[in-house]
Structure 1
Amino acid sequence: MVVGICVGETSLTEVTFISDKMPKVGEYVTIEYDGKKVLGMIENLIRGNDALNVDINDFKAIQKISRIGVEDNYIRGKVKILGDVNDNLKLPRTPVLPGTEINLADGEILKKIFNVKNPIRLGTLVNQSDVEVNVEANPILSRHLAILAMTGAGKSNTVSVLIDQMMGYNVPVFVFDMHGEYKDAEFPNGSVNVIKPKVNPKFMNFYEIKKLVNIPSNGYIQERHFRRAFNAAQKDITDGVAHENNFLKAIYDILEKDSNVEGSDKQIVDVMNKIEDAMERYSNIFDQYSGDILSSIKMAHVNVLDLSQVDESVASVLVSHILRSSLKRSKNAANSGDKKELMDNSVFFILEEAHILAPNKRDSDSKRWIQRVAREGRKFGLGLCLVSQSPKTVDHDALSQMNNMIILRLVEPEDQRHVQSASESLSQDLINQLPSLNVGEAIVLGLMSKVPTLVKIDEFKGRRHGDDMDIVSHFKDAVKKEQEEVKKQEDELMDMGYDY
């Protein structure tokens, strides 16, 4: 089927065409020339009329012309060149000859393109529901992924579909669940392993505990006292003088002895007060008998760390602790030369509310380790997925390391600009399509897909939380139930002989 004819100057990357029928943005086309069959994607469409141009300011004249039904309507579009179908989608070395016909791509060609070695099914083509969209699993795990959308565009459904597909490969997925959306979820391809946000202080490093104890970065004297007691407590535990199951208490006891020495610095007492405050404030997350959180990860499970009951500062410390420990463990395995151990330590981390954990305009512990894993994780089997409904507030450095993106509807221009600046393969024409996407529709691009794709994401078949609350129905039903109860009581009184 002929879509249009190439016009004007063409290039190696894009072609302008004129058509007599309206194609659809996102449709794939083929152009045959110079012995090649080149695949392209329609990224832009314009309808116009030479007789009804913007320079005409006379309303009556415009009305007369439109009534006549002029034949000057035209359809102009732009095709992004994706590559030669018969040469592994390599870009051609010569541009298309003007006047060349553009045809709608055959379904068999598209099915071949989306036939990958380790498929992750996301859905179907928006414009061709009979064509499955499968992306390659390995580039997601090794080159990271961002799932971005405005609220209500289908982000949580997309995450759930992705997780369920990952379960088909027994990949250990670890979700930092900020709102408790996944702790009670049910996945057709795997089970949920809920991990409580409990951490044994003995597994935390100096800077993590210092952060929880709330010693300020400019509190040099307090930090010196705390560091000395921290190191002494570690030695006491090694020597058997103190018990490892109460590390913070061991630090406190050392400072308490120092505070009783005549002439001691009063700031020692300040540090003791902060430790005491931390032990009380974080009693719900400190567990002196728990093991390392990483040891709780189960293969072929959705491992969900429920952070819904902790504040942002605690969530930041826990995220940084887990990512730091995971990267350290994987590096040790790599240095040992044990490839099996390295592969066994592989984890795919999903960070919900990435704009909170990796904020764009302020520092945080979690942000630094998200950046580290984003830069280094692929060498050590650690994958990262950043999920956010506010892309503009996600750290640009971390976002630019996401070599794959699933972008659902985005309306705000600043969000669009921020995402485009972080992605080399997101053209302005594709950016312009983001506000017009329907719920559940997404632009998929990156190393996981051979070509940029407009996808209708599958509806998740399992069960999860996180949908919008039906507040109106709740209160409407409550009033209805109350009225029914009053009626029931009146009927009972009538039966007993009472007359109203």
Structure 2
Amino acid sequence: MVVGICVGETSLTEVTFISDKMPKVGEYVTIEYDGKKVLGMIENLIRGNDALNVDINDFKAIQKISKIGVEDNYIRGKVKILGDVNDNLKLPRTPVLPGTEINLADKDVLEEIFKVKNPIKIGTLVNQSDVDVNVEANPILSRHLAILAMTGAGKSNTVSVLIDQLLNYSIPIFVFDMHGEYVGAEFPNGEVNVIKPKLNPKYMSFNEIKKLVSITGNAFIQERYFREAFYDASNKISEGTEETVNFLDLIYNFLNVKYTDAEGNVDKSAADVMNKITDAKIKYSNLFYQNAPNVISKIEYGKVNVLDLSQTDEYVASVLVSHVLRNSLQRSKDAAHSGNKEDLIKNSVFFILEEAHILAPKKRDSDSKRWIQRVAREGRKFGLGLCLVSQSPKTVDHDALSQMNNMIILRLVEPEDQRHVQSASESLSQDLVNQLPSLNVGEAIVLGLMTKVPTLVKIDEFKGRSHGDDMDIASYFANIKQKEDEELKRQEQETLDMGYDY
């Protein structure tokens, strides 16, 4: 089917065409010239009328012209060149000849484009629902992924579809679940392993515990006291001499013994640190567990491992995220340095971070942000993958976001969000950015190493059960009112049945 004819000057990357019928943005087309069959994507469309130009200001004249000037209507579009279908989508070395016809791409051509070695089916083409969209699993796992959307655009559904598809490969998935959306989820292809946020202080780094004890960066004397006590406690744990004593108690006891004089007076700075340790033990009584195993040791293969952060504040969530990522990266590095490739692959984990704008904020530092950046840079060498999920892309750290070599972008309306995402992606053109506000719920632009071509996708509906939907508040309270009215009527009827009258 002929879509249009190339006009004007053409280039190796795009062509302009004129059409007598309205195609759709996101449709794939083929252009045959110079012995090549080149695939392209319609990225821009406009309608116009030469007679009804913007320089005419007379309303009555416009009315008359509109009645007789229908034949002057035209459709102009722009096609982005994606590559030669018969040469592994390599970009052509010669531009299209003006006057060349542009045709809609055949279904068999598109099916070949979306045929990959390790398929992850995420949906169908928006404009051709009979063509499945499969992306390649390995680039997602090794080159990272961002799922970005405004609230209510279908982000949670997309994450759930992705998780369920990855479970087909028994890949260990680890979700930092900020709102408890996945704790009670049911996935057709696998089970959920809920991990409670319990930390054994002996597995924590000096900086992690220092943060939780609220010793700030400018409290140099307190930090010096705490560091001395921390490493003394670590040595005792390593030597096995104080295994039964709580790690924070070891730190407290060291300070108490060393900095209390014969009269029972405690050094002021040491006392300040001891008080902060006591406060931390009370505040985080549900977080610290002396006999808790290392969190990453609880990861189970072939399951969705969900760390439930719904009852923790952002500060604790940041510490937990940094703790897990730090330990996981260190474990994978140790496996790599041992020279055992099988151990390295066995330690692979795909981390999904909900609320990435909180865990990796753009304008402030945090422990979680630093380790997210580090895993984003180094993780692919050691089998660690990241998926950043956010409804506020503009507030996600640019360095972390730019390391996401794959993106699934659902509806984004705010211009600042759009600019921030575009600056972090090499393959998101301005024409595609312009389409983001017009996407319907569940529709997305998919691009990056996981797909051969940028794609406009209708994401599949998740077939399992999750808790990502908005609450039906109106119905809830309406049902309460209805039940109250029914109860009142029941009581009135009982009164009448007993022979009483109002």
Match of 1:118 in 2: 118
Q: What is the deviation of 1:245?
A: 4.9
The farther-off stretch of 330-339 and 489-498 is 489-498
Match of 1:468 in 2: 470
Cα distance between partner residues in 1 of 2:440 and 2:295? 39
Q: What is the deviation of 1:426?
A: 0.2
Match of 2:425 among 423, 429, 436: 423
Alignment map for 1:334-349 (pairs within 5 Å): 334-349=336-351
Cα distance between partner residues in 1 of 2:440 and 2:123? 14
3-state SS of 2:246 partner: helix
Match of 2:94 in 1: 94
Cα distance between partner residues in 2 of 1:350 and 1:53? 51
Q: What is the deviation of 1:231?
A: 1.2
Equivalent residues of 1:202, 1:245 under 8 A apart:
no
Cα distance between partner residues in 1 of 2:474 and 2:34? 63
Cα distance between partner residues in 2 of 1:6 and 1:216? 64
Match of 1:402 in 2: 404
Match of 1:176 in 2: 176
Match of 2:391 in 1: 389
Alignment map for 1:297-376 (pairs within 5 Å): 297-376=299-378
Equivalent residues of 1:442, 1:457 under 8 A apart:
yes
Match of 2:270 among 249, 268, 271: 268
Match of 1:27 in 2: 27
Match of 1:292 in 2: 294
Match of 1:210 in 2: 210
Alignment-mate amino acid for residue 355 of structure 1: H
Task: Label 1:449 to 1:238 Cα distance change in 2 as closer, same or farther (>3 A).
Answer: closer
Equivalent residues of 2:202, 2:237 under 8 A apart:
no
Cα distance between partner residues in 1 of 2:114 and 2:240? 61
Equivalent residues of 1:114, 1:134 under 8 A apart:
yes
Q: What is the deviation of 1:237?
A: 2.7
Cα distance between partner residues in 2 of 1:462 and 1:193? 16
Task: Label 1:240 to 1:449 Cα distance change in 2 as closer, same or farther (>3 A).
Answer: closer
Match of 1:129 in 2: 129
Residues 179-238 of structure 1 deviation map (CA, whole Å, 9 limit, x = unaligned): 000000000000000000001000001111111111010111101100111111122333
For this pair of structures, how many residues does the alignment match?
A: 500
Match of 1:75 in 2: 75
Q: What is the deviation of 1:240?
A: 4.2
Match of 2:38 in 1: 38
Q: What is the deviation of 1:339?
A: 1.0
Match of 1:193 in 2: 193
Alignment-mate amino acid for residue 302 of structure 1: V
Residues 274-295 of structure 1 deviation map (CA, whole Å, 9 limit, x = unaligned): 0111111111110111101001
Match of 1:279 in 2: 281
Residues 94-138 of structure 1 deviation map (CA, whole Å, 9 limit, x = unaligned): 000000000000000001111111100010000000000000000
Cα distance between partner residues in 2 of 1:166 and 1:245? 42
Alignment-mate amino acid for residue 357 of structure 2: H
Cα distance between partner residues in 2 of 1:362 and 1:8? 49
* Superposed CA RMSD: 1.0
Alignment-mate amino acid for residue 489 of structure 1: Q
Identical columns (%):
79
3-state SS of 1:330 partner: helix
Cα distance between partner residues in 2 of 1:74 and 1:160? 43
3-state SS of 1:47 partner: strand
TM-score for both structures, normalised by structure 1: 0.99
Cα distance between partner residues in 2 of 1:245 and 1:174? 31
Cα distance between partner residues in 1 of 2:377 and 2:91? 29
Task: Label 1:336 to 1:81 Cα distance change in 2 as closer, same or farther (>3 A).
Answer: same
Task: Label 1:329 to 1:115 Cα distance change in 2 as closer, same or farther (>3 A).
Answer: same
Q: What is the deviation of 1:429?
A: 0.1
Q: What is the deviation of 1:244?
A: 5.4
Q: What is the deviation of 1:492?
A: 1.4
Match of 2:148 in 1: 148
Match of 1:447 in 2: 449
Cα distance between partner residues in 1 of 2:221 and 2:489? 72
3-state SS of 1:135 partner: strand
Gaps of 5+ in 1: none
Cα distance between partner residues in 1 of 2:407 and 2:468? 22
Cα distance between partner residues in 2 of 1:477 and 1:342? 54
Match of 1:231 in 2: 231
Q: What is the deviation of 1:340?
A: 1.1
3-state SS of 2:193 partner: strand
Cα distance between partner residues in 2 of 1:240 and 1:90? 62
